[in-house]
Amino acid sequence: MFGGFVGVAVGSIGIVLPGLPTTGPFIFAAWCFSKSSPRFEQWILDLPGIGPMVSDYRDGRGMPRRAKILALVMMWIAIFISTVFLLDNLWVRGAVWALGLIGSWWILIRIPTTENL
C-alpha cells in the first residue's frame, strides 16, 4: 500500500511539474492498491482525468494519438532544458537522454495508439 501512496504523490506532483510523469505513477499506484486496498484502487479509477486513462491502459486501449504527441513533446522539452541548462555532469546528462529514449520507445511502441481525441 505504501507504493500506491508514493505513486499518487509522484503523479500528483507531475500534474503541476513539467517533465515529471503523471499517468504512469497513477497506473503503478492503482496496481499497488489492487493488491492491498480495493477502496483506494477504486478511488484512483474514479479520479476525473486520471481514472479513465488508468482504465484505458489496463484494458489495453492505450493512449489517444494527441495525448502521445503532447506527452512526447513535453518530455523532450524538459529533457532538453534539463540537460542543456541545468545539469553539469556528463554522465547524468547521458542518463537523462538514455531514459528519455527508453520512455519515448515505451510510449511509441509499447502503448497502443487510439484515434480518440
Question: Are residues 30 and 73 located together in one domain of the fold?
Answer: no
* Whole-number average pLDDT of the chain: 91
Residues 26 and 76 grouped into a single domain? no
Find the domain containing 46 and state its range. Answer: 1-61
Of 35, 61, 87, the residue that ends a domain is: 61
46-56 burial string, b = 16+ CB within 10 Å, else e?
Answer: eeeebbebbeb
pTM for the complete prediction? Answer: 0.74
Classify 110 as helix, strand or coil: helix
Asked which of 11-15, 44-48, 91-95 is least confident by mean pLDDT, the reply is 11-15
Could you tell me if 70 and 102 lie in one domain? yes
CA 23/CA 102 separation, integer angstroms: 16
Q: How many domains does the chain have?
A: 2
Q: Pick the more confident residue, 116 or 9.
A: 9
Residue pLDDT, tens place only, 19-43: 678 888 999 999 999 999 999 999 9
Among residues 34, 61, 88, which one ends one of the domains?
61
Task: Please indicate, yes or no, whether residues 37 and 74 belong to a single structural domain of this protein.
Answer: no
